Amino acid sequence: MALIAHRQARERSTYHGRVTEPRKRVLLAKPRGYCAGVDRAVQTVEEALKLYGAPVYVRKQIVHNKHVVSTLEARGAIFVEENYEVPEGSTVVFSAHGVAPEVHDQARERNLKAIDATCPLVTKVHHEAKRFAAEDYDILLIGHEGHEEVVGTAGEAPAHIQLVDGPDDVDKLVIRDPNKVVWLSQTTLSVDETMETVARLKTRLPLLQSPPSDDICYATSNRQHVIKEIAPDCDVVIVVGSTNSSNSVRLVEVALGAGARAGHLVDFASEIQDEWLEGATTVGVSSGASVPEELVMEVLAHLGSRGFGEVTEYTTAEERLTFSLPQELRRDMKAAAAAAAAAAAATAG
């Protein structure tokens, strides 16, 4: 009763002779945006441009984000689909999503200087695939058909890997020995959907083995976890990310599955439509693992201009992981620094 009285008193105190607007707010998810693998891949291209000069060729989008790609293009990166588009003897960077061994072979044949920016957490899945293939396992790779990461991982052991793109694929699998089967996965899937597929696999293959450690990476799981927490309170969730970014697309799906009334994926703040915000009081905001923070800040400014100026950051994890740059690049950076120091010493002498 005391609480009701208090509420009534508070409601009364906010009445100023007109009906007050409901409070509009933004719930900002954290962690969001750049992960360690994306940060490393983007820095790799930036450092390669500084060290070798433009142009530096990049096979596929270095990360799946329009803004990142166009910014690097403006600095002298040239994005290609395949190695044969790179002039012989040039420098080529392989993207964060990883490549099949044949892509390294092609680079050697064309005498390319290859710098591999594959995320170390994708490389981990490649190592698992090679190890289980060497032990003659059937490997069930859960992932999206045609995604670059899946193509790269499957290329490590094509004779042993079958793709499972959702529960409906389970019945099509051809298994040689049900005692020697393991599942692995793409790093950027929905955690819940993947576990549904695994449950279906296990009904058919009770002795199915799991990956030695989680293949869905920390960044994907953390971003999904926080969006799940805020989604039930949100009228609309806006995820900043590109349509070809698997983890960004999954964030919208996870938000809707967790109770957000609506969800939208945008590359830029200018894509937000005013009708999405009509009648909304709480807007959730997050961003995929390949999205620079400046794009999120632009979304917040846009929402602020529509009355959503109150922003509360909701944090479920702190991320401190970083990866060092690819070894081949670090070696060249060190050699260039030593040469510059020697030249400076010679000039001084």
Q: Known catalytic residues?
A: 149
Q: Segment near ligand SF4 (CB under 6 A), from 24-32, 79-87, 165-173, 213-221?
A: 213-221
The answer to the question of residue 37 lying near ligand SF4 (CB under 6 A) is yes
Q: How far is the CB of 144 from ligand SF4 (least distance, A)?
A: 14
Q: Segment near ligand SF4 (CB under 6 A), from 68-76, 108-116, 212-220, 234-242?
A: 212-220
Fill in the DSSP letter of residue 264: E
Q: Segment near ligand SF4 (CB under 6 A), from 73-81, 85-93, 159-167, 214-222?
A: 214-222
Residues 278-297 interacting with ligand SF4 (rule: CB under 6 A): 289
The answer to the question of residue 220 lying near ligand SF4 (CB under 6 A) is yes
Beta bridge partners of 238: 264, 285
* φ, ψ of residue 115 in degrees (nearest 5): -120, 120
**From the list 194, 247, 248, 287, which residue makes contact with ligand SF4 (rule: CB under 6 A)?**
247
| CB closer to ligand SF4, 33 vs 263 | 33
Fill in the DSSP letter of residue 271: G
Strand order in the sheet with 161-164: 161-164, 138-142, 181-185
CA distances from 322 to 159, 226, 284, 319 (A): 34, 21, 27, 9
The answer to the question of residue 121 lying near ligand SF4 (CB under 6 A) is yes
The answer to the question of residue 35 lying near ligand SF4 (CB under 6 A) is yes
| CB closer to ligand SF4, 220 vs 282 | 220
Q: How far is the CB of 216 from ligand SF4 (least distance, A)?
A: 8
| CB closer to ligand SF4, 37 vs 292 | 37
**From the list 28, 45, 49, 96, which residue makes contact with ligand SF4 (rule: CB under 6 A)?**
96
The answer to the question of residue 190 lying near ligand SF4 (CB under 6 A) is no
Residue 189 near residue 167, CB atoms below 8 Å: no
Proportion of the chain in helix, strand, coil states, percent, rounded to 5: 45, 15, 35
- Binding-site residue ranges for isopentenyl diphosphate: 64, 97, 147, 245-247, 290
Tokens 């009708």, located at residue: 275
CA distances from 340 to 43, 48, 113, 148 (A): 21, 17, 22, 38
- Binding-site residue ranges: 35, 64, 97, 119, 147, 187, 217, 245-247, 290
**DSSP string computed for 165-215:** -SGGGGGG---S-TTSEEEEE-TTS-HHHHHHHHHHHHHH-TTPBPPSS-S
**From the list 198, 208, 219, 265, which residue makes contact with ligand SF4 (rule: CB under 6 A)?**
219
**From the list 65, 83, 153, 187, which residue makes contact with ligand SF4 (rule: CB under 6 A)?**
187
Q: Segment near ligand SF4 (CB under 6 A), from 71-79, 119-127, 254-262, 311-319?
A: 119-127
The answer to the question of residue 91 lying near ligand SF4 (CB under 6 A) is no
Minimal CB distance residue for ligand SF4: 37
Number of residues that bind ligand SF4 (CB under 6 A): 15
CA distances from 88 to 50, 58, 95 (A): 20, 14, 19
| CB closer to ligand SF4, 41 vs 48 | 41
Angle, alpha carbons 195-197-201 (nearest 5°): 110
Angle between helices 36-52 and 66-75 (to 10 degrees): 10
Of 190, 295, 183, the C-alpha closest to 239 is 295
Give contact residues for ligand SF4 (rule: CB under 6 A).
35-38, 96, 119, 121-122, 187-188, 217, 219-220, 247, 289
